[in-house]
């Protein structure tokens, strides 16, 4: 009895969270009740259209193979968009008037500025030494300009746009002690433990850069007691701060309080989650091999006409309706249970899509419909096993327990193979293929949960009404 209650409570909590994700107020803060049930689900280019940004690829004339450079630009942008969760964005190459162009189309985008920051950034990362700082514009102060020349350094604006830093690439003026464009093998946004409202980007350098980074942090290391006591020692320490620079903007300027020997570090800049995701995507995807010049930006209509989308949705709803009716006719009470489980899984999947900000396209809708078949298939396996056990003379309760016990491995193996196929599609695919893989994987996992947990709760609830043909007087409770 305790297990039954636990399954029931878990089922209610899960579906409640799904509806909360669907009904949560949108970004504008307005709540429109049940009308907003699907408003939080982002739609793809094929259904709702989106933003279109066109760039000219500025390639140096000395490059021997310009087409290879354009291909590299395409690859970097595709990786950046995928890692920043723009998996449904489209990246296209065009060539006209002896120039190469890259066109990026982003579904449902309401703020192209964020996308432009991600796409247009060259992604050049380097580490330097902070020598001085000021809040005034150093480019109009002769003394500050001369100081930069003497120190062989440059004035760079901070991330907040308010403070300027005098940064030198060579640490302590040692010519071979600098780190420019290191290869980043991993970059992840994480919650800043020192600031619960912000995020940091944790990154790991390739092994070949770990040693020089360790030498840099050793040179700039400042003991904490110096930072705490102030005075002349602290004034000197101000000239030994580490700067992390991206695209000539100082993202971080702070003290090194310990030597970093494993190539793992953090960039702390009071980022919000979106900013941290974009920065992580830029670091991991690498620098753009050519400069991009924006030519135009605007909006595009849905790739598919409204009539095509409408016909596809109607076909899907008709198919689902036929499945629902068929299950009731063939399985009676257990068919009703299957239909409830099917609807449960559908809203669970939509809730997950809303909560994760995933983009739904027609291939994604196809993935949802496919998972409906998976859910029904699992229920049929369970129901047929229950009927077999009852015909053998088992009570309803014993038949239910036995059927779920014997069906577990069958359902697990069947769903696991589909999940593995979905993972391969997600890993090797791009764009809409990833979108299909996401809905497929989420849907199959939801089907497995619904088959083994939710269906069990519902069958236990309706156990007294189960009738099996061929068993006289019905089954024993």
With a cut of 60, say whether residue 283 has pLDDT above it: yes
Q: Hey, which of 111-125, 245-259, 279-293 has the most confident mean pLDDT?
A: 245-259
Asked whether residue 337 falls in the same domain as residue 204, the answer is: no
Asked whether residue 402 falls in the same domain as residue 415, the answer is: yes
Query: Is 474 inside any structural domain?
Result: no
Query: Is 408 inside any structural domain?
Result: yes
pLDDT of residue 266: 79
Asked whether residue 269 falls in the same domain as residue 252, the answer is: yes
Domain end, chosen from 259, 287, 315, is at: 287
**Are the CB atoms for 177 and 216 separated by under 8 Å?**
yes
301-314 pLDDT, tens digit per residue, is 776 655 666 676 67
Asked whether residue 415 falls in the same domain as residue 391, the answer is: yes
Average pLDDT over residues 341-367: 80
Query: Is 315 inside any structural domain?
Result: yes
132-148 pLDDT, tens digit per residue, is 999 999 989 999 999 99
pLDDT of residue 477: 46
With a cut of 80, say whether residue 37 has pLDDT above it: no
Q: Output the CA angle 75-118-65, nearest 5 degrees.
A: 35
Using a cut of 0.75, tell me whether the model's pTM lies above it. no
Asked whether residue 365 falls in the same domain as residue 231, the answer is: no
For the chain, give the longest Cα–Cα distance: 102
**Are the CB atoms for 166 and 147 separated by under 8 Å?**
yes
With a cut of 90, say whether residue 188 has pLDDT above it: no
Q: Sorting pLDDT into bands at 50, 70 and 90, what band is 129?
A: very high
pLDDT of residue 35: 47
pLDDT of residue 111: 62
Full domain range(s) for residue 84: 50-119+296-300
**What is the C-alpha to C-alpha distance for residues 40 and 298, in angstroms, rounded to an integer?**
23
Query: Is 472 inside any structural domain?
Result: no
Q: Sorting pLDDT into bands at 50, 70 and 90, what band is 121?
A: low
Average pLDDT for the chain = 80
Asked whether residue 18 falls in the same domain as residue 81, the answer is: no
Asked whether residue 211 falls in the same domain as residue 261, the answer is: yes
Query: Is 144 inside any structural domain?
Result: yes
Domain end, chosen from 300, 329, 356, is at: 300
Place of tokens 């096993």: 385
pLDDT of residue 225: 75
241-270 pLDDT, tens digit per residue, is 899 887 788 888 888 878 888 888 877 767
**Are the CB atoms for 264 and 204 separated by under 8 Å?**
yes
Asked whether residue 69 falls in the same domain as residue 218, the answer is: no
CATH number of the domain to which 164 belongs? 3.30.1360.200
Asked whether residue 246 falls in the same domain as residue 315, the answer is: no
The domain tally of the chain equals: 3
Query: Is 325 inside any structural domain?
Result: yes
Query: Is 476 inside any structural domain?
Result: no
The contacts of residue 36 (CB under 8 Å, 6+ apart) are 22, 23, 25, 26
pLDDT of residue 167: 95
Asked whether residue 199 falls in the same domain as residue 111, the answer is: no
Asked whether residue 229 falls in the same domain as residue 332, the answer is: no
């Amino acid at each position: 009895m305790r297990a039954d209650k636990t399954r029931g409570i878990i089922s209610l909590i899960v579906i409640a969270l799904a509806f909360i994700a669907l009904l949560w107020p949108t970004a504008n803060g307005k709540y429109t009740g049940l009308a907003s049930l699907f408003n939080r689900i982002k739609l793809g280019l094929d259904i709702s259209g989106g933003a279109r940004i066109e760039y000219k690829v500025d390639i140096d004339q000395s490059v021997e193979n310009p087409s290879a450079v354009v291909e590299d630009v395409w690859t970097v942008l595709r990786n950046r968009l995928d890692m920043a969760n723009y998996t449904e964005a489209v990246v296209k190459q065009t060539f006209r008037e002896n120039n190469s162009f890259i066109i990026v189309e982003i579904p449902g985008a309401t703020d192209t500025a964020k996308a432009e920051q991600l796409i247009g950034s060259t992604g050049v990362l380097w580490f330097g030494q902070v020598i001085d700082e000021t809040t005034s514009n150093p480019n109009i102060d002769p003394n500050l300009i001369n100081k930069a020349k003497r120190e062989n350094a440059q004035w760079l604006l901070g991330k907040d746009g308010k403070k300027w830093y005098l940064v030198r690439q060579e640490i302590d003026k040692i010519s071979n002690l600098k780190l420019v464009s290191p290869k980043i093998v991993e970059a992840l946004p994480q919650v800043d433990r020192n600031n619960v409202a912000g995020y940091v980007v944790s990154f790991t350098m390739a092994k070949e850069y770990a040693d020089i980074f360790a030498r840099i942090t050793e040179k700039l290391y400042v003991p904490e007691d110096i930072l705490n006591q102030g005075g002349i020692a602290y004034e000197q320490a101000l000239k030994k701060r580490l700067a992390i620079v991206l695209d000539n903007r100082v993202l971080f300027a702070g003290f090194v309080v310990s030597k970093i020997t494993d190539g793992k570090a953090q960039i702390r800049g009071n980022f919000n989650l979106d900013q941290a995701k974009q920065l992580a995507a830029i670091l991991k995807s690498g620098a753009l091999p050519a400069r991009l010049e924006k030519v135009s930006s605007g909006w595009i209509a849905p790739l598919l006409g409204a009539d095509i989308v409408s016909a596809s949705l109607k076909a899907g709803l008709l198919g689902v309706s036929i499945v629902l009716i068929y299950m009731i006719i063939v399985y009676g009470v257990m068919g009703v249970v299957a239909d409830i489980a099917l609807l449960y899984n559908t809203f669970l999947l939509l809730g997950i899509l809303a909560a994760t900000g995933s983009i739904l396209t027609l291939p994604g809708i196809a993935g949802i419909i496919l998972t409906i078949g998976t859910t029904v298939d699992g229920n049929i396996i369970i129901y047929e096993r229950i009927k077999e056990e009852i015909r053998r003379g088992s009570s309803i309760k014993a038949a239910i327990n036995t059927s779920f016990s014997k069906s577990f491995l069958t359902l697990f193996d069947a769903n696991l193979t589909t999940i593995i196929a979905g993972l391969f599609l997600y890993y090797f695919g791009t764009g809409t293929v990833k979108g299909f893989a996401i809905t497929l994987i989420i849907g199959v996992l939801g089907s497995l949960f619904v088959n083994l947990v939710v269906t069990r709760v519902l069958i236990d609830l309706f156990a007294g009404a189960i009738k099996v043909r061929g068993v006289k007087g019905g089954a024993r409770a």
